[in-house]
Structure 1
Amino acid sequence: MKRRIFLQSGSAAVATALVGCGGGGGGSSSDAAVAAGTSADTATGTTVTTASAAPTGPANLASPANPASPTTATTSSSAPAQQQATSTVPGIAYPFGSRLTPYVAGILPNNASNAQMDAKIKSFYDAWKPNIVSVPTIPGGKALRFSSSYITVSEGMGYGMLITVIMAGYDANARATFDALLTTVRARPAYGIPSGSGGPYLMDWRLDASGNSAGDGWNAMDGDLDIAMALLMADKQWGSTGTWNYKQEALNTIGALKAWNMKADGTTKGLPSANNNRTSDYMVSHFRAFKRATGDSVWDLAVDRAYWLLDNIQTTYSPNCGLMPDFIINTNTSTPAPSQGYIGDGTSTEGYYFANAERNPWRLGTDFVLTGDTRFKTICQRLTTFMQKDCGGSPGSLSIGYHLDGSSMGHSWAPTAIAGPLQCGAMVDASFQPFLNSLWTWTSSNFVTSYYDSELMLIPMIVASGNWWTT
């Protein structure tokens, strides 16, 4: 079991988290974020906070005539057929900003136009991208920098690949960067996992400062889930006839995830017990994409199991708040429960809405706007209703985390990693429009480039702006 220490950006508060061995979570690296400085973004009038030391309209929502108009969320439990326009950028199917495939449900911020939102995201992407660095021991390899002690973790590699494939069309070098990240992923497989269980196609969860394996050969499921999804998106974005066959690489990783990280009934597995798991691994939109790519019904089961577990936990342990813990135990029974601590990340906070579960609104809200599955709208509504009330509609007043009864874990640092993903949770219903607008404005005004918080702000902003798409 390997543990990493995180220092949240701009604070002196430390949270520990275990990554690898099929579990793990995130936060900003302790040896990454020191004193913060600011730089003005003259293009957008935004202040971007950076660490001084190396840190670890879619058509149905925003019409061209009124790009900031709100819409009421749909109530369909299945995805309506979508019409897709054609890209005008040679070699790129979904150039950033094109919004070629409409979301089928939900709302967007209506206090900024598409052009204004895109300008913010481009500026933040430009501020974020220098964190992608060359890997000394892997020729041609690059990595999303995690800390001075560990150049990267697989979680970060997944984030980097998702972001770069989405930003193609704005960034002329996006594909080259994506390929360099993939080179590192494949150069450092999870060697502790037998080949027959997919080891060559899962990534060692952590690499040292030089880029050598430092995770004892085990994978972290969240990293490999995002890597697999990014590969499917790369196939759709660029095709698979170049240096890498993205589609085949995706299928290889999806098969390995099924073999190593999934039960036959669709439940995700954790360690030290396969009957533990992490709620932020319930990437239901990814599961649906894997089903489309493979035809394997286990991914349908994974969607259903994720909903059942989340609904059970919310209604049993957080009926007044709709909160979810970082980790769940006893997933093989009819009475799953929040972790009491020290079974996943190796911390006492595993049963709280904290460093892992704070990603859930991003994952689940994204699925709703893409599919209209009202089960995940319900999960997000419960949570977002509580969060909106708790902070009085002012995102800067959010806690850094919550006990499942809604009591605060404190305000030791700015709630960047809470507020960023919550944008997607607020997208599920028009009643959250003012709160969504406030979340967009606050996130746009408080962007940081330190690891984890940065990605948990940038990716949800891409989703909230209407720029996300799936395969």
Structure 2
Amino acid sequence: MQRRLFLRTGSASALTLALAACGGGGGGGSELSTGVTADGIGPGSTSRRAVDGPDTYPFGARLDPYVAGILPSASADQMDAVIRRSYDAWKARAIVDVPTVRGGKAVKFGNSGAYLTVSEGIGYGMLITVLMAGHDPQARSLFDGLLTTVRARPAYSIPEHGRWLLDWRLTIDGSSTDAAGGGWNAMDGDLDIAMALLMADRQWGSSSGWNYKQEAINTINAMAAWNMKPDGTTKGMATPHVSRTSDYMTGHFRAFKRATGDALWDRAIDRSYQLVDRMQSVFSPNCGLMPDFIIHTDTANPIPSPGGYGDFVDTEGYYFANAQRNPWRWGTDYVTSGDTRWRDVCNKLVSFIERDTGGQANRISAGYHLDGFAMNRSYEPEGMIGPMLCGAMVDPRFQGFLDNLWNWNAGNFTTDYYDSELQLIPMIVASGNWWNP
């Protein structure tokens, strides 16, 4: 069941400028306006031929041990077997050709008859394929096919920087139109795309085929200019003082700082923590929850969204369809960086979830009010249960809960869009197979 809505990001003033400049945008006109063709060929890019090469970090290698946290009690071989099997099922369902982009691939957007893909899904797909190289001999060609689509479908309504960002939603034939994504980007998709590109540079190098490193830097710098405030706060398009907590991908921010040297990404980590700490301490002191969206980020007193500001729905102030990804992002950051702020954030959240469920993964609600009220226990929400794996990795006292979460995800893997990716990537992290560029 598809439950996702999306925040489009940028600034209100630029929105007016872009709409005036693009003349409505969409279709082939969007490609011509940026110099990027349907073949994915554009300025700053290298040859588009697929180049075979060694995988320098093959799946299962575990070359970079985690610096903190715990792993499930299952053996590495057992966990890798589960992930390989899950990946193969995901790949068979998820990866599709893009009819209007030669050589383009996409991650299929649910069962919608109107839309082929969203940028968030392509970002997930790029992370997954770069991590699964070494298991899947097609991993690089799939990754390059996804990247081909990224560069063939730029965020055409964004002046100057849009060529390095992805139109957030494509029609069923893979076209950009004003009625689909409108030529605007979604920050979460571009964050994962940039991170995956940096990982691809480590995995395959950038000396032949795509220049992954430069493509990553181009996207990182475009997000710095378009999606970020100078103090490190992420921002929304029509509502620049609205921030989505699931955009606080602090591990990605560390990688972006290493790649570019831009201190903005250090400020982004600090600002993300300030906002999350306030949500937990002031608005969810007994549960450690945080909302999908925070508003009034330009003031000293940001608050959870009352609804209608981010995804333009009534559930924006709850721990729900966006915030459910947070323990995955922050648990991953903690085990690889050792930054104890994110251990403490996850500790508060996971402690409540463990109490609420009696340590049973299948009792997790599909969402929570910030006071801990469970919104829906009528089904087992894979997209809520998967990310909790990484949150439970931060402290040995969660070992029993972590093992229960691993066993449940391993035995209940779905291939439905969004839930599938929110199980597969956290399982990769929990198994010790995540790594940084």
Which of the five TM-score ranges fits, normalised by the shorter chain?
0.7 to 0.9
What CA distance in whole angstroms lies between the structure 1 residues aligned with 2:303 and 2:175? Answer: 37
Structure 1 portions without partners, runs of 5+:
1-6, 9-14, 24-88
Find 1:462's aligned residue among 421, 428, 431.
Answer: 428
Q: TM-score, structure 2 length as denominator? A: 0.88
What CA distance in whole angstroms lies between the structure 2 residues aligned with 1:22 and 1:447? Answer: 35
Q: Partner of 2:241 in structure 1?
A: 275
CA contact (8 A) 1:155 1:220 kept: yes
Secondary structure of the corresponding residue to residue 425 of structure 2: helix
What CA distance in whole angstroms lies between the structure 2 residues aligned with 1:260 and 1:16? Answer: 23
CA contact (8 A) 1:16 1:345 kept: no
Find 1:175's aligned residue among 127, 131, 140.
Answer: 140
Q: Partner of 2:333 in structure 1?
A: 367
- AA aligned to 1:153 is V
What CA distance in whole angstroms lies between the structure 2 residues aligned with 1:230 and 1:137? Answer: 24
Pair 1:128 & 2:90 matched? yes
CA contact (8 A) 2:10 2:240 kept: no
CA contact (8 A) 1:280 1:326 kept: yes
Q: CA deviation at 1:252?
A: 0.2
Identity of matched residues, %? 64
Pair 1:201 & 2:164 matched? yes
Q: CA deviation at 1:16?
A: 5.8
CA contact (8 A) 1:322 1:386 kept: yes
What CA distance in whole angstroms lies between the structure 1 residues aligned with 2:98 and 2:4? Answer: 26
What CA distance in whole angstroms lies between the structure 2 residues aligned with 1:19 and 1:153? Answer: 12
Secondary structure of the corresponding residue to residue 152 of structure 1: strand
Deviations 1:64-114 (CA, angstroms, capped at 9, x unpaired): xxxxxxxxxxxxxxxxxxxxxxxxx9711110001000000000001x100
Secondary structure of the corresponding residue to residue 354 of structure 1: coil
Higher helix share: 2
Q: Partner of 1:18 in structure 2?
A: 6
- AA aligned to 1:202 is L
Q: Partner of 1:92 in structure 2?
A: 55
What CA distance in whole angstroms lies between the structure 1 residues aligned with 2:433 and 2:247? Answer: 23
CA contact (8 A) 1:19 1:205 kept: no
Q: CA deviation at 1:254?
A: 0.3
Q: How many residues align?
A: 391
CA contact (8 A) 2:249 2:329 kept: yes
Deviations 1:97-144 (CA, angstroms, capped at 9, x unpaired): 01000000000001x100000000000000000210000000000000
Secondary structure of the corresponding residue to residue 399 of structure 1: coil
Q: Partner of 1:399 in structure 2?
A: 365
Q: CA deviation at 1:334?
A: 1.4
Q: CA deviation at 1:243?
A: 1.7
235 and 414 in structure 1: CA distance in 2 versus 1, 3 angstrom threshold: same
Q: CA deviation at 1:22?
A: 5.2
16 and 460 in structure 1: CA distance in 2 versus 1, 3 angstrom threshold: closer
CA contact (8 A) 1:291 1:299 kept: yes
Secondary structure of the corresponding residue to residue 328 of structure 1: strand
Q: How does 1:226-265 map to 2 (within 5 A)?
A: 226-265=192-231
CA contact (8 A) 1:16 1:347 kept: no
- AA aligned to 1:129 is K
Pair 1:117 & 2:79 matched? yes
- AA aligned to 1:156 is G
CA contact (8 A) 1:272 1:344 kept: no
What CA distance in whole angstroms lies between the structure 2 residues aligned with 1:181 and 1:369? Answer: 28
What CA distance in whole angstroms lies between the structure 1 residues aligned with 2:7 and 2:293? Answer: 13
Alpha-carbon RMSD across the aligned residues, in angstroms, is 1.3
What CA distance in whole angstroms lies between the structure 1 residues aligned with 2:300 and 2:196? Answer: 34
What CA distance in whole angstroms lies between the structure 2 residues aligned with 1:281 and 1:249? Answer: 20
Find 1:186's aligned residue among 146, 151, 162.
Answer: 151
Pair 1:295 & 2:261 matched? yes
Find 1:148's aligned residue among 91, 113, 127.
Answer: 113
